[in-house]
């Protein structure tokens, strides 16, 4: 009897602690102030190759913001974001106002302490899919919640061409093996037909 009462009391305490715990802050893009000026080195429409080309990204507090506006900014997170043209008919890339559900900015360029102004050179990763991108930077508070952002205009988006992994030598080998398999099939078919006739 005492064990069940102890278990029940423990269960009540755990549930009460879970209910009273502060919920994680939810950030909505539409409610975040645009306080960062972000620039990226590619020109609009420029084609970059994954694993080869480098993007230089810079960010700074917008000059029109009052001094101390960035006092709560502890980190900055910079990401590559799918441009609207690369989101069409692709639910896994869709923009969502709730940033925990947003799938626009899936590729992290960097996350570092907020220095006021910053610059990073990023070699386009090999696993970046072929698409059109722009750059967005989030200012994060001490808890890691987005509190402000800035981005290059989607109109100044650039293209990334990923590595397909299919080289000329692989194409030649596939062609040779395909021809060999068809020739083998024809040869054995002929042999079987000949045996049947004898």
Residue with structure tokens 């009460």? 16
Supply the pTM of this predicted model: 0.70
Q: Give the closest residue to 48 by CA, choosing from 163, 165, 166.
A: 163
Q: How far is CA 75 from the centre of its chain?
A: 18
Instruction: At 106, list the tokens.
Output: 């899936």
Q: What is the pLDDT of residues 78-119, one digit of tens each?
A: 999 999 999 898 888 888 899 999 999 999 999 999 988 899
Which parts of the chain have pLDDT scores under 70?
1-25, 164-165
Q: Which domains does the chain have, with CATH numbers?
A: 29-161 (2.60.40.1930)
Instruction: List, in sequence order, every residue forming a beta bridge with 38; answer none if it has no partner.
Output: 59
Q: State the Rg of the chain over Cα.
A: 28
Q: Give the closest residue to 128 by CA, choosing from 43, 52, 38.
A: 52
Q: What is the pLDDT of residues 1-10, one digit of tens each?
A: 556 665 565 6
Taking the C-alpha atoms of residue 63 and residue 172, their distance in angstroms, rounded to an integer, is: 57
Q: How many alpha carbons fall within 13 Å on the CB side of residue 170?
A: 4
């Amino acid at each position: 009897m005492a064990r069940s009462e102890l278990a029940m009391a423990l269960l009540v305490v755990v549930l009460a602690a879970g209910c009273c715990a502060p919920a994680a802050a939810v950030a909505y893009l539409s409610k975040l102030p645009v306080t960062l000026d972000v620039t990226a080195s590619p020109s609009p429409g420029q084609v970059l190759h994954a694993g080869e080309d480098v993007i230089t990204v810079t960010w700074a507090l917008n000059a029109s913001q009052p001094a101390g506006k960035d006092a709560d900014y502890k980190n900055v997170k910079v990401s590559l974001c799918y441009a609207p043209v690369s989101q069409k008919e692709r639910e896994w890339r869709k923009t969502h106002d709730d940033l925990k559900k947003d799938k626009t900015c899936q590729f992290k360029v960097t996350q570092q302490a907020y220095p006021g102004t910053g610059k990073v050179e990023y070699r386009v990763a090999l696993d970046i899919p072929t698409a059109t991108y722009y750059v967005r930077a989030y200012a994060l508070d001490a808890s890691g919640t987005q509190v402000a952002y800035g981005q290059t205009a989607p109109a100044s988006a650039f293209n990334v061409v990923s590595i397909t992994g299919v080289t000329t030598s692989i194409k030649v080998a596939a062609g040779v093996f395909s021809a060999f398999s068809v020739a083998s099939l024809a040869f054995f078919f002929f042999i079987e037909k000949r045996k049947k006739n004898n």
